[in-house]
Amino acid sequence: MLELLVPPSLGPLKASARAELLESALSNELAEPVRIEVASSYGEMVDRIRAKSAHLAWCPAAVCAHVEEHALALFKVVRNGASTYRSALVGRRGELLTVEKLRGLRAAWVDRLSLGGYLLALDLLRRRGYDPERVFRTQSFYGSHPGALQAVLRGEADVAAITMNGDTEQDLRRGLHMHIGLDQRDFDLIAISEAAPTDAVLLSDRLSVPHRDRIVARLFPGTKTYRTPSFLLSALDAEAFERATPGEYTALLRIVKDVPLKPRSSEFPPPPSRR
């Protein structure tokens, strides 16, 4: 049975729904059973890929940076015509925040290994001469993009960072809509980071080379841009795939190499109770 590992960063409801879709559809497409598992953290994804306990993985870019040496193939996700993305630092609508006005505020991040939801935002601030440890009063991790954005809406935090494609207001609204839906109009843009390669589907070295080739032929046919069956595209909010060049993700280690792979004890706050 093939094991496909998916990240927790879209939130538990979306992740579990997509897992159910993929499990059935991929089993049919690949003509062999597929089991989907949702990782509890990015660190767990890194550990499992290194331990060869997953055949396939849908990996955030920061995870790819740590495990590229274990990839027999990597296929970058293409969204809105691009296989790169950025981090958008956002705040509540109408508060007119700028990078210069962040001192003493509270930040809501996704995960210590989330590029779009944390690391690229920190890199942006440091490039502008601001130390996040000194700028923010508190920095909390919520485990998903929806979780971080909802923390801002609830008043638990003042700013959050999310993944977005492109560098325009329209790109920001698309990203917010993907992560939080209709509430996307409740946020304003503060700043946008440099670009990084998107998340990717990784075929791990747990596979034999012939097995890898068979999966590639079925899921990623083509020569440059890989238009795969619609269920996989829909599950990843994608329109196509591009094969990553060797070392493309390893270059990100400049940003991610010193980041702890495991969340600290009780780092993710519990979700709000529903009444």
Instruction: Give the residue carrying structure tokens 């879709």.
Output: 21
Q: What percent of the chain has pLDDT over 90?
A: 53
pLDDT in tens, 169-194: 888 888 888 777 766 678 999 999 98
For residue 64, what are the contacts with CB-CB under 8 A and spacing of at least 6? 71, 74, 197, 199, 200, 202, 244, 249, 252
Q: Residue 207 above 90 pLDDT?
A: yes
pLDDT of residue 266: 40
Secondary structure (DSSP) of the chain: -EEEEE-STT-HHHHHHHHHHHHHHHHHHHTS-EEEEE-SSHHHHHHHHHTT--SEEEE-HHHHHHHGGGEEEEEEEEBTTBSEEEEEEEEETTS---GGG-TT-EEEES-TT-IIIIIHHHHHHHHTT--HHHH-SEEEE-SSHHHHHHHHHHTS-SEEEEEESSSSHHHHHHHHHHHHGGGGGGEEEEEE---EE--EEEEETTS-HHHHHHHHHHHS-SSSEE---HHHHHHTT-SEEEEPPTTTTGGGHHHHTTS-SSPPTT-SPPPPP--
pLDDT in tens, 111-135: 887 888 999 999 999 999 999 999 9
Amino acid, single-letter form, for residue 23: E
Task: Count Cβ neighbours within 10 Å for each residue of 199-232 and write b for 16 or more, e otherwise.
Answer: bbbbbbbbbeeeebeebbeebbeeeeebebeebb
Which tokens in the block code for residue 271? 């979700």
pLDDT of residue 133: 94
pLDDT in tens, 192-204: 998 899 999 999 9
User: 2 and 32 in contact (C-beta within 8 Å)?
Assistant: yes
**Phi, psi dihedral angles at 31 (to 5 degrees):** 60, 35
CA distances from 254 to 2, 66, 115, 118, 179 (A): 32, 11, 12, 14, 27
Q: How far apart are CA 16 and CA 37, in angstroms?
A: 9
Which tokens in the block code for residue 250? 């390893």
pLDDT of residue 14: 59
pLDDT in tens, 30-51: 999 999 888 888 889 999 999 9
Q: Which fold has domain 2-79+198-248?
A: D-Maltodextrin-Binding Protein; domain 2 (3.40.190)
pLDDT of residue 7: 83
Q: Residue 225 above 60 pLDDT?
A: no
Quick one: CATH architecture of 84-196? 3-Layer(aba) Sandwich (3.40)
| Cβ-based neighbour number of residue 127 at 10 Å | 10
Residue 228: pLDDT band with limits 50, 70, 90: low
Residue 157: pLDDT band with limits 50, 70, 90: very high
pLDDT of residue 16: 67
CA neighbor of 268 nearest in space, from 110, 74, 47: 110
* pTM for this predicted structure: 0.71
CA neighbor of 36 nearest in space, from 52, 56, 50: 56
pLDDT in tens, 47-100: 999 999 999 999 988 899 999 999 999 999 998 888 998 999 999 999 999 999
Q: Where in the chain is the domain with CATH 3.40.190.10?
A: 2-79+198-248, 84-196
**Phi, psi dihedral angles at 13 (to 5 degrees):** -70, -50
pLDDT of residue 10: 55
Q: What percent of the chain has pLDDT over 70?
A: 86
